[in-house]
Amino acid sequence: NAGVTQTPKFQVLKTGQSMTLQCAQDMNHNSMYWYRQDPGMGLRLIYYSASEGTTDKGEVPNGYNVSRLNKREFSLRLESAAPSQTSVYFCASSERDRAPLDGYTFGSGTRLTVV
Amino acid sequence: GENVEQHPSTLSVQEGDSAVIKCTYSDSASNYFPWYKQELGKRPQLIIDIRSNVGEKKDQRIAVTLNKTAKHFSLHITETQPEDSAVYFCAASRSPGGSYIPTFGRGTSLIVHP
């Protein structure tokens, strides 16, 4: 049981380049999320998908797009990377319609550096 | 929207001492309060949670208390050990029949000195 799998683990981009962060979960969870983590800022929600076929903006969506490809997969795309997007990105999943029995399950994170 | 404040940002204790981390929230409709532990370079992992219908929950050396009237909740770690050193995040959320979107505190870096 892999839980939530994120790829890649590390990435360096040049300003203006694009890339997609991949996330997949095998727990049959309905809801999936993308967070970024910056020092002293905690975890800030970028986008989420409450269920397959829906996506919504979180607290810091500018510069990002998402795709809920199917129930398992939720990708995050940076169309034109900026140094301000240097961060650690976490994907997470949870059940819907009730407080999950086990909270969020997080992926292992992607450390992104934009130079 | 929900606003979660977490204090202190850094907490340094001696091994064997107790540690307390406090969070306040603003949305009186919040009803689920999880705590996550994140070790250096690792993913956050749920360590304990509490729902609004109880005031306290314990799991071995850790406990969480909730005061809904005052809108604050706390994490208590007793007999701290060096392996408790990590960043701890609180969160608050509500489930209005749909999505579960917690708001996280900014984290507390706990350092346990041997």
- Mean pLDDT value of segment A35-59: 90
Q: Which residue of A lies nearest to B30 if distances are taken between CA atoms?
A: A99
Residue B93: predicted pLDDT: 84
Q: Which residue of B lies nearest to A101 if distances are taken between CA atoms?
A: B49
- Mean pLDDT value of segment A17-29: 94
Question: Residue A97: which pLDDT band, with cuts at 50, 70 and 90?
Answer: very low
| Cα–Cα distance, B14 to B79 (Å, whole number) | 9
Which of A30, A106, A110 to substitute to test the interface with B, most B CBs within 10 Å?
A106
pLDDT averaged over chain A? 90
Task: Give B 16-75 residues with CB within 8 A of chain A.
Answer: 31-32, 34, 36, 42-46, 49, 51
Calculate how close chain A gets to B104, using CA atoms only, in Å: 6
What digits encode the pLDDT tens for the residues B85-111? 999 999 998 764 345 678 899 999 999
Q: Of B103 and A81, which is predicted with more confidence?
A: A81
Q: Which residues contact B58 (CB under 8 A, 6 or more apart)?
A: none
Residue B97: predicted pLDDT: 36
3-state helix, strand, coil split of chain A in percent (to 5) is 5, 50, 45
Q: Which residues contact B78 (CB under 8 A, 6 or more apart)?
A: B18, B61, B62, B63
- Mean pLDDT value of segment A38-60: 89
Question: Residue B51: which pLDDT band, with cuts at 50, 70 and 90?
Answer: confident
3-state helix, strand, coil split of chain B in percent (to 5) is 5, 55, 45
